[in-house]
Amino acid sequence: MGSRWQVEKHNDPYYKKAKKEEYRSRASYKLKQLDKRFKIIKEGNTVVDLGAAPGGWSQVALEKVGEDGLVVGVDLNRFKKFHEENYYGMRGDFTTPEVQEKIMEIIGGKAKVVMSDASPSLSGIKNIDQLRSIDLTYSVIGIAENILEPKGNLVMKVFQGPEYKEMLDSLKTKFRHVRTTKPASSRKKSSEMYVVGLEYMPNKRQKKRKK
């Protein structure tokens, strides 16, 4: 099984492309494709990357924000930090209040983009894994609600399950535009999807109630 996976990995065109273009992960192309379509990250933005290891998404974000932007990457696992002065990498569990407070301290309040390509630890038991996935998704959404500035953007990986539609409906009360997609670089056999929330509107729900 492991040997077959290794063969598939090394034959994967995005794996080869990442090696050639010196990206840390083939996942870099997922964000590049998502950003090309939805214009998520712009020069000068402050970006928070939740579940950053090994750094593929942070690497793309650094290219997009330029010298005037800031990228903060957080992950439970150790990963090689970037040398750019406008990158801050930290090790920790981003679902905990302590780490979230540290993120806010680093960015000085608010971020323009929150992004996450994180996956939960999988047990192989479908029901348990779906619950872990949705819990992680709501953790990312909760952080986004706390640190996104008005009209900020969110992009995150999700796995379809019983609560998938409910989660999307919830996001539609918070963002002007919500889109779901599966970029070309995402493996076809993977059940992962990507959700993009554009133009965070913290008072959208309240405005609707007043009408």
Catalytic pick from 64, 112, 157, 174?
Answer: 157
76/64 Cα distance (integer angstroms): 25
Please report which residue ranges of the chain form alpha helices under DSSP H: 2-11, 13-20, 28-38, 56-65, 97-107, 126-147, 164-171, 204-210
- Alpha-carbon distances, residue 18 vs 10, 14, 60, 79, 82 (angstroms): 11, 6, 12, 17, 17
Distance of CA 128 to the CA centre of its chain: 22
Element (H, E) at 124: none
With the CA atoms of 135, 140, 141 and 145 taken in that order, what torsion angle do they form, in degrees rounded to the nearest 10? Answer: 140
Whether residue 157 lies in the annotated active site? yes
Tokens of 107: 């960015």
Active site positions, annotated: 157
